[in-house]
Amino acid sequence: MRKVQVDKAQPGSILAKSIFTADGRELLSAGIEVRPAFFKKLKEHGINEIYIEDDISNNIQISDVVKDQTRQEAKELVKNIMNNYTLASSFNSERVKGIIDNILKELLESDEIIINLSDIKSVDDYTFEHSVNVCMLSLITGIGLGFDLPKLKDLGVGAILHDIGKLRIPEEILKKPSQLTVDEFEEIKKHTVYGYEILKNNHKVSMMSAFIAFGHHERYDGSGYPLQIKGDSIHQCARIVAIADVYDALTSDRVYRKKLRPHEVVEYITSLGSNHFDQKIVESFIKYIAIYPKGTGVLLNTKEKALVVKNNKKIPTRPVVRVVYTPTGEKISEPYDVDLASQNSIYILDACEL
């Protein structure tokens, strides 16, 4: 199995993962043969990538640490909250906590937590998928930091609802495809305060969760908002969600820019060091990120192109790869696997499309 751009999918390949619409309906089922007629339908739903089974990706299994059904239920819940909440109503906090319990159970039962975020993201459904991804990334980081179960649950609630304050931001500003004006950006920044107020006023939600909504755009050096507080004055859980928020945003396609690759975003977050983020949390965060996710193409220093087969947790920049194309671009008749952790002379130069 491997992930490919819809435009690059070859007719005759087998769809490896089912595709769902923004409202949770199955658009295309796993196991069917990819046909050109599907491409337009996928584009109409804002879906730019799919998973396929083909001759070069044989025996590569890609599964996230949280089941597709659980992710879908979480996304639907966030969508219902964001679409139906009014100033006169309150969201069902017990349902949110139930979803967090399910996500946590699956994460804690996993033998080895390496997150590929292997869901197919829709450009049009970004807000809800982003909330769920930020929740998962934050919980994995919290597990790595040794948080107890109650703290993990509060972290999960705050993370999945970190952007709930955007309910009070005018839609024309939120969905503006071009650069925001100074006044519009000032309005956007208010979502942190609005989110804090919404969560604080729900007596079944902890103040820790409310502080996450308030502080997830603060930065360790004081350059963030809304209060420009710095260092440990920012709640620890808000510092975690700040990193997860940036990571998922930059690895997602948006209407105004194309996504970055995981290794590029990890380099970006690491390069900011203690300026924007808590370094201890960054170190915990990147331990669980697949820098080169399984099923993605990479360019080797030998000029060969390969497919990532397996991640090496102890040396994340040196996964097991399947060499598929020669340096001159010819497809190898019998692709072979190489463990880069044991091959000092071979290394990855960059990610690439195959």
pLDDT tens column, 240-252: 999 999 999 998 8
Q: How far is CA 12 from CA 8, 47, 323, in A?
A: 12, 19, 22
As its CATH architecture, domain 2-53 has Alpha-Beta Complex (3.90)
Domain coordinates in residue numbering, the chain: 2-53, 68-286, 297-352
- 118-146: pLDDT as tens digits: 554 554 566 788 999 999 999 999 999 99
As its CATH architecture, domain 68-286 has Orthogonal Bundle (1.10)
- Residue 216, token pair as written in the block: 């997830």
SS3 221: coil
- 226-238: pLDDT as tens digits: 999 999 999 999 9
- Residue 160, token pair as written in the block: 């999945």
pTM above 0.85, yes or no: yes
Buried b or exposed e, range 127-157, using 16+ CB within 10 angstroms = bbbbbbbbbbbbbbbbbbbebeeebbbbbbb
Structure confidence at residue 4 as a pLDDT band (50, 70, 90): confident
Return the H-helix or E-strand segment holding 243.
helix 236-250
